[in-house]
Amino acid sequence: MSHKNFASPKHDYSGEFHLTIKKNKYKQMKHVFIYSIVSFILSAFTVVASTAISDIINAFKQGNATEISKYLENYVDIKLPNKDEAKNISKNQATQTLKDFYTSNSINGFELSSQRELGGTGYLTGKIKSDNKSFSITVMIKTKDNLSSIVSIRIN
């Protein structure tokens, strides 16, 4: 009998070795496949969140409080220069507060300085501008279920 015969009583383990290699390759391929699927799903969520945040940035660049208000959470915190912080105010009240500030200061643009994201929270910092003045702004954005919304605006 030859040594390659698996039924050989001499216990040639080469067949078991090849079977083990096939199992390991299968496990590796399975891990690569699972990793690829998870990566694809996570990147899809990131693209959706990034797109929503890009839309928020564009709304600020337009200098239009009505456009910005589309992205406000139902209740937000707003801090304006020389005023106390308004906490947990309704979207309608926050929209009117922003409109009043934008109108009284002739805000017409936005320049992004920094954008950070950690978990489901994003931060934008920059300057909102009028013809003769600029204000520092920090915006906190929460992303949940692929929807990004503004939860806090601080203007100094």
- Other beta carbons less than 10 A from residue 100's beta carbon: 12
The number of C-alpha atoms within 13 Å of 34 and in the hemisphere containing its C-beta is 6
Structure confidence at residue 31 (pLDDT): 66
Structure confidence at residue 25 (pLDDT): 67
Structure confidence at residue 52 (pLDDT): 75
pTM strictly above 0.85: no
Which token pair is 55? 């839309």
d(CA 80, CA 103) in angstroms, rounded, equals 13
d(CA 70, CA 93) in angstroms, rounded, equals 13
**Contacts of residue 14, Cβ cutoff 8 Å, sequence gap at least 6:** 3, 4
The residue among 56, 54, 49 whose CA lies nearest residue 72 is 56
d(CA 22, CA 153) in angstroms, rounded, equals 57
Contacts 24+ apart (CB under 8 A), 108-114: 108/63, 109/61, 109/63, 110/57, 110/60, 110/61, 110/63, 110/137, 112/57, 112/60
Name beta bridge partners: 136.
127
pLDDT in tens, 68-87: 999 999 999 999 999 999 99
Structure confidence at residue 35 (pLDDT): 66
Per-residue pLDDT of the chain (156 residues; tens, 9 = 90+): 455 554 545 555 555 555 566 666 666 777 676 766 666 555 444 443 455 788 888 888 888 888 899 999 999 999 999 999 999 999 999 999 999 999 999 998 899 999 998 888 999 999 999 888 999 999 999 988 778 899 999 999
Task: Answer yes or no: CATH 3.20.20.70 is held by domain 14-155.
Answer: no
